[in-house]
Amino acid sequence: MPGSTTPLRSLRSEGNIERTSPTVTIRAHRAVVLATGGIQANVNFRRIFDPRLTEEVQCSVDIWAPQDASGVLAAMALGGSVWGAAAQSQEKVRAMRKPSRVGCRDTYTSGWSPESPVFPLARATGLAVGDWQNVILVNQVGKRFYNELASGWPSGTLYNFLDPYIPGDWRNLARAQYEVTAYNDAALAMNEGSQPPDFGPGPQWAIFDAEAVRREGWSLEPPATDPLYFFSAETLDGLAAKLTQNPFQKVEMPAANLAATVARYNQMVDLGVDPDFDKPTPLHRIETPPFYAGWATIIVHDTYAGLRIDGRCQVVDMRGQVIPGLYAGGEVAGGCSQHGLGRCLTQGCIIGGAIAAESLG
């Protein structure tokens, strides 16, 4: 690698290299360090780990920090190995998240400020949901799929915190309460609207009425909502017809399905019980126009799979051999169930020390 000419494809102009050409040549004197972030915005690459993550599943923050797998792909072209696939695909941590707000493309963040320099890309702050009793969630064909109060996969562990926890004692698990939730799986399940060749689940929508808006205290006008991800109508039939204005709603939502779903839910509210999905004591009927649909689709964020590296953060090939002069740190590197500044700073320090040692040696 040092002193060689290496093509790095798909470099984005948002980085320090202001190039828009499909291939950029880098002549390195000592080493090349890959710190290009994760893989979650690259639909074809992420589907290696989870085929359900078709294009309608958005990647949080990729509008300003593209997670396009470019560094991983560049290293793979040199023989680099991918590592940590289990960490990416197993049903835990926060690689995939239930939205915390609706009516905007990026449903993960705490809400983009209109003063942000990237707000023209974010387009909307979204509506933060204070109480999921105020909405129902439906799939692309207008049917409920899970208890709206449920969370996505647990954060960090499938088990509740143990007190006392005894280090090294196998009985810890015997005392643990297993937290079961299949919300993400239900949201990504195929349905009548799933089409070849990918059979994606399509979007999920939060459906609510004017009374829910009043209870939540929402302001619905832009920049709170995005006209491509938020719709309203005086009737449920009219609402269903508008959803194909969203580029990811590939099939027209059957108006009869949405009407039947709302009618059944209203009956559950009257009964005080949800026999379909065990939502605890459904509280509010959906009956006061106008009616609303806000984008509430599962979103991906953290990357846990990436390039195989050794203890010096050198990229390792498919034979288990180090690729000389090639380093990787942060979410581009795999085999670590961790993300954020702690990981970046630690691996950056290791890489800097390794390169300095090579230079002095």
Please give the domain boundaries of the chain with CATH numbers for all domains. 5-92+301-360 (3.50.50.60), 99-297 (3.90.700.10)
3-state secondary structure (DSSP) of residue 9: strand
- Rg of the Cα atoms in the chain: 23
- Tell me the two tokens of residue 325: 């002069």
Query: Could you give the CA distance from residue 167 to residue 171 in angstroms, rounded to a whole number?
Result: 10
Q: What is the pLDDT tens value at each position of the chain, 361 positions in all?
A: 333 333 333 334 344 556 677 777 777 888 999 999 889 999 999 999 899 999 999 998 788 888 899 999 999 999 999 998 887 877 555 678 889 899 999 887 777 888 988 889 889 999 999 999 999 999 999 999 999 999 876 555 555 566 777 888 888 877 777 667 789 999 999 999 999 999 999 999 999 999 999 999 999 989 999 999 999 999 999 999 999 999 999 999 999 999 999 999 999 999 999 999 999 999 999 999 999 999 999 998 888 889 999 999 999 999 999 999 999 999 899 877 666 778 888 999 999 999 998 877 6
Amino acid in position 188: L
> Which of 320, 112, 77, 59 lies closest to 224, judged by CA?
112
Q: Which residues, in sequence order, are bridge partners of residue 78?
A: none
Residue in the block written with tokens 């509740």: 160
* Residue 87 DSSP class: H
Query: Could you give the CA distance from residue 169 to residue 148 in angstroms, rounded to a whole number?
Result: 37
- Tell me the two tokens of residue 84: 């940590």
Dihedral over alpha carbons 342, 321, 353, 305 (to 10 degrees): -10
Neighbours of 227 (CB within 10 A): 12
